Structure 1
Amino acid sequence: MGKTPLDASEEHYIQPGALSVIKAIASEVDSNNLNSVFHIGDISYATGFLAEWDFFMNLISPVASRVSYMTAIGNHERDYVSSSSVYQTPDSGGECGVPYETYFPMPTSAKDKPWYSIEQASVHFTVISTEHDWSINSQQYEWMKKDMASVNRQHTPWLVFMGHRPMYTSNQGFSSKDQNFIKAVEPLLFENTVDLALFGHVHNYERTCSVYQNKCKAMPIKDQKGVDTYDNKNYSAPVHAVIGMAGFTLDKSSNNGESWSLKRISEFGYLRAHATKNDLNLEFVTSDTREVKDSFRITK
């Protein structure tokens, strides 16, 4: 028999990687290295225990008090049985998005419509909710379509798409991929020439080729420093990355990645990004040693 939401109280503890990750990010802030942080769902895993929200908010305060701390909603903030979530699971412990929206008021259009976009320098970020209706012709779908189509790519050349549940992951556990979500939303990314799609949910790191409909449309080429470089002057498809390795117990990386999977790492850390008009440079940094374990760049 599966556990009830009440049984989950026995498992509440500080997530194993959380302390090292926030310490590493805080040191980036101290070095004036960061302008903003994006946390793409499953924010505190409080699941109804407000004391854990208090602990988490205190934990991130050295970072969130100094740079913008932008979020997306995940299953552990929103999903609950008999709520309007796409997924009828007890994952939020009855929170149904209320504490999340109270603690993290993002620039959304209305309550319980937690999708929005912002622009920072040369990057347009489109942030969606995988837990709210994304089906074709839904309110969120129409918003995504309009938002991404409206970006002035001369002024803001980079388009980065973010949501919680991934479209591409080699992990086969806990319904990692929803084919209905992929079928509805992936064409929008392709049509609007999204450069990079970032997701969480699976607790490890994985990077793809330029991929669309499960096929590599282009492979990166190593530059003089050996860094995988994607040429988006000749756009082929988005690059996808799962970056769910920031605190919760890690999922093992699959030894048998799909053909579109280029890099898989199961260590705690974060993705560091630096954008100019012509380059989007990304590095997966491990939180304990601060070592760069994967780096790639997208050029225009």
Structure 2
Amino acid sequence: MELKFILLLIINLIMLLSSTVTADQYVRPLPRKNLNIPWPWDSKSQPYPQQVHISLAGDRHMRITWITDDKHSPSFVEYGTLPGRYDSISEGEFTSYNYMLYSSGKIHHTVIGPLEYNTMYFYRCGGQGPEFKLKTPPSKFPITFAVAGDLGQTGWTKSTLDHIDQCKYDVYLLPGDLSYADCMQHLWDSFGRLVEPLASARPWMVTEGNHEEENIPLLTDEFVSYNSRWKMPFEESGSTSNLYYSFEVAGVHVIMLGSYADYDKYSEQYRWLKEDLSKVDRKRTPWLVVLFHVPWYNSNKAHQGAGDDMMTVMEPLLYAASVDLVLAGHVHAYERSKRVYNGRLDPCGAVHITIGDGGNREGLAHRYINPQPKWSEFREASFGHGELKIVNSTHAFWSWHRNDNDESIKADGIWITSLISSGCVDKNKHELRSMLMTP
């Protein structure tokens, strides 16, 4: 057994060194240290459900995900609106995976519902362990999203999560790079335990980043850890891949795209995106928000041009669809654009926000291109999180909160007017119809 763990340690060190060598050659300030999380052989086996997190799973439904070391543990969830009193029960599914010498626990996915809007529910996983509680999102405006990408598991991560926990948010949006496990699978487990207090109480909607890929040619499958642990409502939204999907909540249609899935005009993702956009009803969901990992508008010297290919293919379609807001990560800094399209200011373009500053171990990307592009409104290399409060069908307030040591300081804020209220949706509807009908 000791030899097995020694071999695992050697493999993990090799993967860590290789990822460090291939990193971009720009200088980052020293981040806070990684959190002190014990290795698997140092920790006691967890007899109860752990790493509990929830996500939206179609209209008035929620997916509960948890992991058990006991391979015989059942995959049902009991729930109700009073503590300790469970009026309903749902049976789910389970999976597991192997990665080199690592074997995951039993990963349970159970969908519960239909649920009442804006309601507190109490639930228990597998008939044992502690009781958890979650709050469902509202059915109509106002609704608040917390946003932060590139989380990791450092002291800065904890600071960001503490600040998000103080925010009265309904849904958390994470545009890629979750655990920074980078092939060291025990870090997926420690990440699950780290985020459980927040992720078990409000839906976390995530998309993949480059640190989720974890591909070792001929030895492992791409995204096997991410897809096994963080199942999103891709099937509910008609997608064939967990790497891209959409969902609707309280008057907002949110599209989560995959920067690391094929995206050319002949790809399955592009075909799905056109089909998804054809179903959007701006009377029912006047706000249209898109997330993916690699930003298209980025004046930081880090990852310059990394999103250009995807932008060339997909930006015309998103522009025709009158997307209000685009959120991305990858660059470890914050930046907000004016409304922009095709590199130029455009009143019918989207506001692009890069928010890959959640707390990763690689540090901040602090070097920017000067002079600042005309489309770039605000930029700063600090860790933090964003809050998007959509007040009604026409107005939303975006704010970015810097981690000033362990205090949350609002450093940027702006009112955003929806494109449906400015006439852009009507202006672009014929172009959109034409693009959706093009094979």
TM-score (norm 1): 0.83
> Equivalent residue for 1:19?
158
Is 1:100 matched up with 2:209? no
Q: 1:1-300 maps to which residues of 2 (within 5 A)?
A: 5-7=15-17, 13=34, 14-28=153-167, 33-78=168-213, 80=215, 82=217, 96-109=222-235, 112-218=241-347, 236-248=348-360, 249-254=363-368, 256=370, 257-275=372-390, 276-287=392-403, 288-299=406-417, 300=421
Contact 2:324 2:350 (8 Å CA) reproduced: yes
Gaps of 5+ in 1: 84-92, 219-235
Structure 2 CA distance for partners of 1:79 and 1:6, relative to 1, 3 Å: closer
Aligned mates of 2:355, 2:19 — CA distance in 1: 26
CA contact (8 A) 1:253 1:264 kept: no
Q: Match of 2:313, as an amino acid?
A: A
CA deviation after TM superposition for structure 1 residue 148, in Å: 2.0
Residue type at the aligned position of 1:273: L
The answer (yes or no) to whether the contact 2:209–2:260 under 8 Å persists in 1 is yes
Partner of 2:272, secondary structure, is helix
Amino acid in structure 2 at the alignment position of 1:293: A
Taking structure 1 as reference, are residues 8 and 25 closer, same or farther at Cα in structure 2, changes over 3 Å only? farther
Separation in structure 2 between the aligned mates of residue 148 and residue 280 of structure 1, nearest angstrom = 22
2: CA distance between counterparts of 1:37 and 1:156? 18
Q: Deviations over 1:68-97 (max 9, x none)?
A: 0110011111263658xxxxxxxxx95621
Q: Which moved more, 1:160-169 or 1:53-62?
A: 53-62
Q: Secondary structure at the match of 1:290?
A: strand
Residue 268 of structure 1: how far off its partner (Å): 1.1
Query: Using a 3 Å threshold, how does the CA distance of structure 1 residues 9 and 251 change in structure 2: closer, same or farther?
Result: closer
Decide whether the 8 Å contact of 2:170 with 2:202 is kept in 1: yes
RMSD of aligned alpha carbons: 2.4
Question: What amino acid does structure 1 have at the position aligned with 2:226?
Answer: Y
| Aligned-residue offset at 1:15 | 2.9
The number of residues matched between the two structures is 268
Q: Which amino acid aligns with 1:105?
A: K
SS for the counterpart of 2:201 is coil
Identity over aligned pairs, percent: 31
Q: So what's the TM-score if we normalise by structure 2?
A: 0.57
**Displacement after TM superposition at 1:212 (Å):** 0.6
Structure 2 Cα separation of the partners of residues 212 and 9 of structure 1: 34
